[in-house]
Amino acid sequence: MNVLLAVSGSIAAYKALDLLRALRRRGHVVRVVLTQGALEFVRPETFRYLGAEKVYLPTDDFNSATPGVPHVDLGKWADILAVAPLSADTLAKLADGRCGDFLGSIFLAWRQNRPVLLFPAMNTMMWHHSFTQEHVARLNRLAYVRVVDPAAGLLACGDEGAGKLMDVEALADVIGILDPLKTRAHHALITTGATVAPMDPVRFLTNPSTGKTGVAIARAFLAEGSEVTLVTGNAAAEGLTALRAHPRCRVIEAPTTAQMLAAALEHAPTANTIIAAAAVADFEFTISAEKVKKDGLRELKLHPAPDVLAELLRQRRPGQRFVSFAAETDTSELVFREKFARKPVDLMIANRVDAGFHGRREGFGEDAGTYWFVTDTATTPPRELTKRELAQEILRWDLQS
């Protein structure tokens, strides 16, 4: 993707250097536009050194050495315009349609069939000011523009609150999956990650699932314009920061099986597609109020945990599509058919797993794996897929269903 990265005059401008690197790692071609304010904080040579294809200065629109009409030509070249960081001053100028500098001219000449993403960074009082919020609302009324709310935290000025530029890696991910022009009247409910079975106030039983699969699936559905509800057992799963920042994504933390079931049941009635990718704890303890001593371990009692998928299927609405996952060490057709028969879904994805304690780690925490696609009539041969490729396969199946 061709990304036009504009940097305005915020103390967070130095983070745009890391953002450039993050975008290039994801395979994007990046050109950079610096406002006059940005030049107070960063130097154009640094962006060139870090791999920007071209770097434009505030007056380059009027530079006779630059061929064509740069503020028009850049809009034809770029697939997306991202302004990060976006200062309060630049926000106001864009909202007012002023084109007193290169960036303002680019914005007004922008083709409205391509997205513009704006990432504010400013003092929290400035962010919450009524004028700023009016500017945000005005820009968000443009179908191709989205102002992404800043993060909250300790700001450079010492204040604490909203106004912080979001994490650079998350920001690069959002640029790759957020297109305000892509909207699909579709809601995907996805469960992911491991749930835990608490034993006492400090210990619990769980498994090595990281939640990577569900995050990859959520990214694929968001990029296609769906609304996504992601119920995760892993609150710190890689990629969640970007999903939390996405305006069409709802991330719900549900560490225990009971909590995951409650969250899934709450959001299932509006879901068109339900994808059960979580590695749910199958058993629960009768939880001790105090830490269990060694001599009390023999007294621990296990009982079956709620079956999240079975309960969702029991409350299935007409027209809903279900995808389930079967993480197995025995990947025989007999095992697949038995599991499918117990909880019949539209598509079951089986994969081989091993935590790696006694052999090669497989499935859990890996970026790729071996998968079988199981329906009521057939099972495909095993396929080696990355989790991104797997997510695209599920999305393609959903679009064609």
Structure tokens at 141: 């009324």
* Number of CB atoms found within 10 A of residue 115's CB: 21
Q: What number of residues does the chain have? A: 401
In this structure, are residues 214 and 193 in contact, taking their beta carbons and an 8 Å threshold? yes
Distances (CA, A) of 78 to 30, 173, 242, 386: 9, 17, 22, 28
Distances (CA, A) of 371 to 20, 94, 238, 243: 35, 48, 22, 25
Per annotation, catalytic residue among 71, 135, 187, 246: 71
In this structure, are residues 324 and 276 in contact, taking their beta carbons and an 8 Å threshold? yes
Query: Does the active-site annotation cover 28?
Result: no
Per annotation, catalytic residue among 99, 129, 157, 187: 157
DSSP string spanning 22-44?
HHHHTT-EEEEEE-TTGGGT--H
Residue 188 to residue 323: CA distance in whole angstroms? 11
Residue 225 to residue 245: CA distance in whole angstroms? 15
Of 87, 86, 107, 85, the C-alpha closest to 96 is 107
Rg (the chain; Cα; Å): 24
In this structure, are residues 222 and 245 in contact, taking their beta carbons and an 8 Å threshold? no
Query: Does the active-site annotation cover 157?
Result: yes
In this structure, are residues 200 and 287 in contact, taking their beta carbons and an 8 Å threshold? yes
Known catalytic residues are: 71, 157
